Amino acid sequence: MKKIIIYIIFFLITEITFSQSENLYELKDWQLKGYAESAERYNDDYSAVKYYSEYYKRNKNDSKTAYKLADLFFKVKNFQQAKPIFLDLYQHEKDKYPKAIFKYGQILKNEGKFDSAAICFQIYRDELLYKDKKKERNLNILRVKQELKICENTVFRKNDNKETINVYKLNKTINKKYKESSPVIWNDTNLIYTSYMIDSVPVINIETQKNKPFEKYYSAKLINDNWKGGFLPPKPFINLENKSMSGGVLSDDGFRFYFAAGYKDMHGKIYSSIYVSKFLNGNWSEPEKLNNRINLKNYFSTQPTIGKCYDKNFDVIYFVSDRPGGLGGSDIWYTIYDKITGRYKEPVNAGSYVNTPENEITPRIDNTTKALYFSSDGHSGFGGYDIFKTFGELINWIPPKNIGKPLNSSFDDFWYTSFKNDSTGFIVSNRSKNPEMQNPHCCFDVFEYGIINKKTIEITDTIFETDENFYDKLTQNKEANEDIKQNSSRTVVKLHIKNNDNGKYICLAVDTTDYSGKFHFKIDKNQEYKLTVEKENYTPASVTFNTKHLINNKLNVKAVTIIPTNKKPINLKNIYFEFNKWDLNNSSKQYLDTYLYKVLNKNKNIVIEISAYTDGIGDSDYNLVLSKNRAESVVNYLVNKGINKKRLIAKGYGEEKPIVPEFTKTGKDNPEGRAENRRIEFKVIGVMIDE
């Protein structure tokens, strides 16, 4: 797993050409094997493949070398070379190399042969998994379960995306023959990216590391609708000496620029830290490392991106790290930056909805929608690293979804970034064959994508409010007519998305209505949402809706009307109970039929509290129970009449809150006062919109 992380995270030196100049055919077997093993120690997979391949030609019966070679071919995405070796190992050495059939199945899955791949995964699960290494067994159970899930999922069998998406590699002024990555959209006509800017594999002295290249920032400009690269980047992008650069993100206020820089030593150990430059007095400061809680010693920290927080004085800095406390491999973490104090809080893992026991990399936040894009080889994908999308913040996310083909492929796809219109942008991938290199999929290039018929879903609606006449209408047993409604300005509307795994809603965005009562949100397809409406001195309201079955991307959401807080409960004066009883008599039922039942039927969205009170005679605890039973009697009667129980809240207050003294000033009993205190009231406490 660690080697996979090293291969992907930085795209640093993975192809070291040894200084040995001997012709492979002239080398003896022990020399070939020795050179191959040395290359492995230095994480030089391509040189290892070269030497092991020649050795394997001469020693077909060496199954150990065969498995090493196939595994290396698989790792560098040379699936066609790996495929026959894995199959041969399964047919002749399956007990010794049980995972050969699993890897063979993964190659078939990458080729789109899902049924055949599923058979391979089932064979591994049912017959061979128990023979695999004990320390990896639990993880392998999860892996095979995930692969079978992919094979059974029709989403991966066909591309049912109705949008037309074109993906094409940028030209040779940007993509050289080696590696390019980390696209950052600086403005509409300026793209920043990293590159070795070389067209051949460097020859590196293993001992001195001489000629070792580093990824540096470059700029591409949009000229006549074509991107032309190779320019020096603008500030705050800066290339640090003897370090490879990665990513780059500017804070919303424009005063802080975060990026990562590091290197990999000859033994494959990664050293990387996150830096920040500050815009002070019209100039960018020299980069400085973030504190050692973020740049934890002996672990890498890289690929920062910035999200908004629940408090405008905070920013959330998401980043990638292999530090302890994660779920495995590289995880996405975050730290909260306090703009007032300038301090960063202790990093926190982004949680199990985002992170897996495998690896998650290259996060990017869309602060308009609170969407997190990232790449993973642990979630359900087409092969290698795929790009995923989720919504939320901090540790609260909905289950991620694969964004599908053609943005994803059976190879590695990451560094998703887009323009504000979300219909064009860039990714990094090694999907493109490069026949001039030793391995056709060795190298990463920057690709541009464009969505021809981008389906943008937005919700724009109006919040209404009523005035105090609403309650006058209720007490007069008249309907609250439309003429007392008005557009509700300066009203807070919050958009929430539902996590279908646990049923909880996560707040995504907040808007305040304008003078006409209108609000606006950008939303996503195939999701469940809730709007909540809040305004001081008004009862809160909410409405749920989904975007699963839209026609022409149009939403039909019920109108939301908020009503003033009901400060004075309405007394139902004709509700009576026999002494020490809570059953409704006929006259009380008739009153409910002619008044409260009609009120609830005419105002189908209000939620009311039905409150019952007793007088002060008797035990207070008993009176509390008695009053609760009386309130519930009213609720049950209305429910039996067809009123939704969710709209009725029964509360018993016992002898609390008397409205009339039960004793005169001289201390005599006041029966009339006691009678008035024995009452049923209701008040509107909110508005419910049915789904």
- What is the tens place of the pLDDT at every residue in 253-273? 899 999 999 987 766 677 899
Average pLDDT over residues 43-68: 88
pLDDT of residue 17: 46
Predicted confidence band of residue 288 (pLDDT cuts 50, 70, 90): very high
- What is the tens place of the pLDDT at every residue in 537-569? 888 888 888 888 777 777 777 778 888 876 677
- What CATH number corresponds to the domain at position 658? 3.30.1330.60
> Which residues on adjacent β-strands are paired with residue 333?
319, 349
Number of H helices, E strands in the chain: 14, 34
Predicted confidence band of residue 362 (pLDDT cuts 50, 70, 90): very high
Q: Which two tokens stand for residue 212?
A: 């070792």
Q: What residues contact residue 269 under an 8 Å CB cut-off, 6+ apart? A: none
How far is 142 from 125, CA to CA, in rounded Å? 10
Predicted confidence band of residue 679 (pLDDT cuts 50, 70, 90): confident
CA angle, 366 then 244 then 375, to 5° = 35
Domain identity same for 574 and 679: yes
- What is the tens place of the pLDDT at every residue in 126-165? 888 888 777 777 888 888 888 888 888 766 656 555 678 8
pLDDT of residue 157: 59
369 has pLDDT over 60: yes
Amino acid at 107: I
Cα distances (angstroms) measured from residue 598 to each of 481, 527, 570, 656: 14, 36, 15, 29
pLDDT of residue 4: 44
How far is 638 from 353, CA to CA, in rounded Å? 43
452 has pLDDT over 70: yes
Domain identity same for 304 and 365: yes
602 has pLDDT over 80: no
CA angle, 620 then 625 then 628, to 5° = 125
Average pLDDT over residues 318-332: 93
Q: Which two tokens stand for residue 166?
A: 């074109």
Domain identity same for 537 and 613: no
Average pLDDT over residues 498-518: 91
Please state whether the predicted TM-score (pTM) of the whole model is above 0.85. no
Q: Are 542 and 532 in contact (CB under 8 A)?
A: yes
Q: What residues contact residue 484 under an 8 Å CB cut-off, 6+ apart? A: 466, 467, 469, 470, 473
Domain identity same for 634 and 546: no
Predicted confidence band of residue 531 (pLDDT cuts 50, 70, 90): very high
Domain identity same for 292 and 338: yes
586 has pLDDT over 80: yes
Domain identity same for 416 and 501: no
Least confident of 39-48, 191-200, 295-304: 39-48
- What CATH number corresponds to the domain at position 443? 2.115.10.20
Q: What residues contact residue 532 under an 8 Å CB cut-off, 6+ apart? A: 493, 494, 496, 540, 541, 542
Q: Are 624 and 654 in contact (CB under 8 A)?
A: yes
Q: What percent of the chain has pLDDT over 90?
A: 41
* Helix, strand, or coil (residue 319): strand
Following DSSP, what letter does each residue of 621-689 receive, concatenated?
HHHHHHHHHHHHHHHHHHHHTT--GGGEEEEE-TT-S-SS-SB-TTS-B-HHHHHHHS-EEEEEEEEE-
More confident of the two residues 13 and 45: 45
Average pLDDT over residues 463-471: 77
Q: Which two tokens stand for residue 128?
A: 């061979």
5 has pLDDT over 50: no
Q: Are 529 and 497 in contact (CB under 8 A)?
A: yes
Q: Are 557 and 543 in contact (CB under 8 A)?
A: yes
Domain identity same for 548 and 583: no
- DSSP structure class, residue 351: -
481 has pLDDT over 60: no
Q: Which two tokens stand for residue 556?
A: 């039909």
pLDDT of residue 12: 32
Predicted confidence band of residue 478 (pLDDT cuts 50, 70, 90): low
Q: What residues contact residue 133 under an 8 Å CB cut-off, 6+ apart? A: none
Query: What's the start-to-end Cα distance of the chain, in Å?
Result: 46
Task: Give the domain-ending residue among 427, 451, 475.
Answer: 451
Q: Which two tokens stand for residue 393?
A: 């913040």
Q: What is the pLDDT of the chain when averaged over all its residues?
A: 84
Average pLDDT over residues 448-453: 88
Which of 332, 344, 341 lies closest to 393, judged by CA? 332
pLDDT of residue 567: 65
pLDDT of residue 619: 85
Domain identity same for 187 and 316: yes
Domain identity same for 223 and 359: yes
Amino acid at 241: E
Least confident of 52-61, 471-480, 602-611: 471-480
Average pLDDT over residues 351-362: 94
Q: What residues contact residue 624 under an 8 Å CB cut-off, 6+ apart? A: 652, 653, 654
Cα distances (angstroms) measured from residue 111 to each of 203, 376, 609: 34, 19, 61
Angle between helices 586-594 and 620-640 in degrees, nearest 10: 60
> Which residues on adjacent β-strands are paired with residue 428?
414, 446
Task: Give the domain-ending residue among 562, 596, 619.
Answer: 562
Bond from prior residue into 363 cis (ω within 30 degrees of 0): no
Average pLDDT over residues 286-315: 92
Predicted confidence band of residue 11 (pLDDT cuts 50, 70, 90): very low
Q: What residues contact residue 389 under an 8 Å CB cut-off, 6+ apart? A: 371, 372, 373, 400, 401, 403
Q: Are 575 and 560 in contact (CB under 8 A)?
A: no
Amino acid at 135: K
User: How far is it between the farthest Cα atoms of the chain?
Assistant: 122
- What is the tens place of the pLDDT at every residue in 455-466? 778 888 888 888
Which of 396, 287, 387 lies closest to 350, judged by CA? 396
Q: What residues contact residue 581 under an 8 Å CB cut-off, 6+ apart? A: none
User: Which structural domain, as residue segments, surrounds residue 614?
Assistant: 570-688
- DSSP structure class, residue 174: T
Domain identity same for 127 and 215: no
- What CATH number corresponds to the domain at position 471? 2.60.40.1120
Domain identity same for 544 and 579: no
Domain identity same for 58 and 184: no
What is the number of structural domains in the chain? 4
474 has pLDDT over 50: yes
How far is 364 from 362, CA to CA, in rounded Å? 7
SS (H, E, C) 113-144: CHHHHHHHHHHHHHHHHHHCCHHHHHHHHHHH
318 has pLDDT over 70: yes
- For residue 655, count CB atoms less than 10 angstroms from its CB and return exposed for 0-12, middle for 13-18, buried for 19 or more: buried
Task: Give the domain-ending residue among 141, 157, 173.
Answer: 157
The CA-based dihedral angle spanning residues 107, 111, 116, 120, taken in that order and rounded to the nearest 10 degrees: 10
Bond from prior residue into 236 cis (ω within 30 degrees of 0): yes
- What is the tens place of the pLDDT at every residue in 619-629? 888 889 988 99
pLDDT of residue 496: 94
